[in-house]
Amino acid sequence: MMQKDNKDSLANTRSTADTDSGVGEVSVVRNNSGFHRTFTPRQIHVISLGGQIGAGLFISTGSNLRDGGAGSLFLGFAMVCSCIWAVLNTVSEMTIAFPTSGNFIDYADRLVDPALSFAAGFSMWIGWTAIIASEATFFSVIVNYWAQNSVHDGVWLTVFLLLMFIIFSLPNAVFGWFEYFTAILKILVLIIFIIVGVALVFGIGPEGTVHHGENWQDGKAFLNEFKGFGNSVLLAILAIGDNTFTGFLAGESKSPRFSVAHAVFLIPIRVTVFYLISVALIGVLISPYNGNLLGSDSGVASSPFVIAINQAGIEGLPDVLNVAIIFAVAAIAAESFFIASRILQSMAHQGIIPAWVSKVDSRGRPRISLAITSFLCVTLTYINLSGEGITGFKWLSQIASTGYFMVWLVISITSFRFRAALRAQNDPLFTETYAWKCALWPFPPAWLFTCCCFYIGTSFYLALYPIGSDTPTAYYFFQYMFGTVLIVFSAIGYKLIFRTKLRDPLTVDLQTGRRTLGFEEMKELDEYNAMPRWRRFVSFVQLW
């Protein structure tokens, strides 16, 4: 039964503090949500390095380049990279104090309003599920590089979905190691591409030519003016926006204080280096008019990475790269499955939706929320077969992108409410040993709020005046604004039905689920801080 009372909506929902769990302990530790803390600091560290690299970078950057040119592609990614830094610093302050599996959904309920929590959770559940469907579409595109459309796309979509179901029918540890090893693979592939890409700029390869910045000249860098930039920004959100994944892992991590703080430092650097260098090389090497880019009726070879290597006449490497992209696509889909199911389970655990959805089995898997997520995932995936793949991709990408930046907006609001509650209650959180706080606060949440308002305005403008059209239509309006409309009406509807009220900073619950450092964690942090600087630096880049 759903919790309708605003005062009681937090009851029976928070994870109790696991104060006796040490870093790296093998024993299983539970919280009240039924999840097991099975993810190790090393797994979270490596996943934070490469876990979120997927089809958004490997494939959909082609659509960014085609619509906006090299300049819009680069600036769009740069703007979103700054948001990743802001969102991680903002949400991790709360995540380390309250490492619950629901993450921002819990914080929105706890600190702001249950209606906002419901809207954010519902929007992100649909958004993450849409990501699974879009990754399935990308899987079909990449496989057809070899199959040449000799097999119906429905077969490849089915194979992909079966792979996801197999992964999540196994214990959570299998998922953790799958993400770990695919993250290492993606990091190595990106490093190889960056090295090869720099060489391609200077004309390496049997058919290579020296590039002199021709794609930045004659107006090709900024196609379609603001529309091109706006579209590039929204697609960049799709490529980078899932970096909140680390926050969800914290709810099932053995040492959130160490793991999350490590990831917050590492992820913005990784995003900036890997993504910006990659998109800069793509912009230099590939013309926005290339017929093989996504959305150009290309068929199979739509990855800009593959296009760049094929242009130089290098044989063999495109096949290796496509295999790596398949693993990347599968990893992102598995990650999305993980988060979508945790979002649904957390909403039920908090009493926002029916409690029976929150049930977790003896292996720590939320089977009911996984089943519901699977149903929506299968539906969205096979809907793609009813039309052109690019059409389905555009709808799914806009739903996912909107879900990301609307949740970022919620996180920024929640951060201000969190600080207000700490001040109102004179809470000593930031005076505790090894306390972690947001750097340069309040700039990160303020910047995040500003950018999200810009994204909403951009979506509205493109909904009225999309690329290639100056006449508003209902089709494009809902394509760009469906996610925004969904979250706004979800919040309003929930608030009207259940009569929820804003949380009072004086009475906000700052104790339930709060994790204080245990002896083993304190010892681990003491040993880490006693290391020389070079050894601490190595800990940020080592993959074992």
pLDDT digits 0-9 by tens, 246-295: 655 555 566 777 778 877 887 888 888 888 999 999 999 999 998 888 76
Nearest to 223 by CA among 479, 467, 401, 480: 467
Identity of the residue numbered 162: L
For domain 41-541, give its CATH number from 1.20.1250.20, 3.50.4.10, 1.20.1740.10, 3.40.50.2300. 1.20.1740.10
Residue 174 exposed, middle or buried by CB count within 10 Å (0-12, 13-18, 19+): middle
The answer to whether the CB of 347 falls within 8 A of the CB of 105 is yes
The answer to whether the CB of 346 falls within 8 A of the CB of 373 is no
Domain boundaries, the chain: 41-541
Contacts of 117 (CB under 8 A, 6+ apart): 105, 106, 108, 109, 347, 350, 352
Contacts 24+ apart (CB under 8 A), 372-378: 372/344, 373/125, 373/129, 373/337, 373/340, 373/341, 373/344, 374/165, 376/126, 376/129, 377/129, 377/132, 377/133, 377/161, 377/164, 377/337, 377/340, 378/161
Residue for token pair 């530790």: 29
Beta-carbon neighbour count of residue 2 at 10 Å? 14
Kindly report the three-state secondary structure assignment for every residue of 69-83: HHHHHHHHHHHHHHH
Nearest to 259 by CA among 96, 415, 429: 96
**pLDDT value at position 494?**
93
Cis upstream peptide for 428 (omega within 30°)? no
Average pLDDT for consecutive 10-residue bins of the chain (544 residues)?
42 38 31 52 70 78 90 94 92 86 83 92 87 86 82 89 85 81 87 91 88 89 92 89 63 70 81 89 92 64 82 87 88 87 85 86 80 90 70 77 89 96 94 88 96 95 87 83 87 92 93 81 84 80 63
The answer to whether the CB of 317 falls within 8 A of the CB of 309 is yes
Kindly report the three-state secondary structure assignment for every residue of 104-147: HHHHHHHHCCHHHHHHHHHHHHHHHHHHHHHHHHHHHHHHHHHH
3-state helix, strand, coil in the chain (%, to 5): 70, 0, 30
Residue for token pair 């096949």: 319
Identity of the residue numbered 394: K
pTM for the full predicted model: 0.84
C-alpha pair distances (Å), 230 with each of 55, 68, 439, 456, 534:
20, 8, 29, 11, 41
Identity of the residue numbered 515: R
Q: Angle at the Cα of 368 (from 363 to 373), degrees rounded to 5?
A: 110
**pLDDT value at position 456?**
94
**pLDDT value at position 32?**
43
